[in-house]
A and B are shown apart, each in its own frame.
Chain A
């Protein structure tokens, strides 16, 4: 554990620079889309030949740090339901522990890297297809920036959530913000399943938990965003602690990643104010699909013992993220200049 605690001292400057840069890119995506902060980190670490427990544990510790920063911001905006977040902690913790023990078991029989990679291919591919389809249907993926800015009183509970609230009435029932009344068991089930995903893959689970909070529990979008991040602080903190006890958290990975992502998240978040997200979400979906292919390619390279194919997978996964982050930055600057030109013409 102490070795991993002092990991930053043992990491080469080149690798630190790579992690800071990758963190910056991941941060821009997280700040702009509100999700996807961690999807790419664990697969990239696996492709860099880190053991599965270190890749998942360090990915989770990175998610924890990112969530702390984002929650501080959402707390200032009054978008965190602390009651819901605290209720979810038990289910999430059990889920994480179950997922973590599965990873350690698979590692002991030599299957962890392969199975986690396959799970990532399915997950990135599935979510990528969903986001791309929704973006092409103009519904978009990730956070709906306009919905997230709405007042809570303007929010309408989705029909599916109303149906769940009417049919699943197993006591005790819990009242939440936004006039929501739901069974404790619905909340616990959502928490356990997303915790399982977090513990197994080292992700925050926001891309599943957030829609689950909105559609299964009926939480208003802005509160779902803030509460999801608050929940990740706990689930990520507990998960990181559990992985850290087994030497799975490497500060040489986490510290530079967080250093870059905290800056990137500010840039991505600021970009939401000037860029129409719908035009870019299709690229985000494409990036996830490329990520799925990249993980698959990397795994094939690893299976064949071919380092060139493994490197191709790594270049693909990082390249896809860089392209989408660059598209966000380019569109933001272009949009800012256009607004500035229009204002200058109007004043002339």
Chain B
């Protein structure tokens, strides 16, 4: 541990981190859309199942 290093530019590592950033953004938008699309149906299944059972 000689000392604190300074990050140097490395395109491959930048692409690696960019991939994670891109995945995060896609998941945020994708799951958000799925929630709006399937959320009400899923809630009906979860809550309505009990109603039917009664």
Contact = CB atoms under 8 A, between A and B. Distances in A.
Interface residues of B, number: 28
Contacts of B51: 340-341, 344
Contacts of B43: 336
Most B CB atoms within 10 A — which of A72, A245, A344?
A245
Contacts of A242: 5, 7
Interface in A1-28: 1-2, 4-5
Interface in A232-253: 237-238, 240-242, 244-245, 249, 251
Nearest to A108: B1
Contacts of A266: 31, 35
Interface string A325-342: 000000001001100110
Nearest to A259: B27
B31 to A, nearest CB: 6
Interface in A165-188: none
Contact of B28 (A5, A69, A244, A254): A69
A98 B4 contact: yes
Contacts of B17: 61, 64, 237, 240-241, 244, 249
A97 interface: yes
B15 interface: yes
Interface of B: 1, 3-5, 7-8, 10, 12-17, 19-21, 23-25, 27-28, 31, 35, 43, 46-47, 50-51
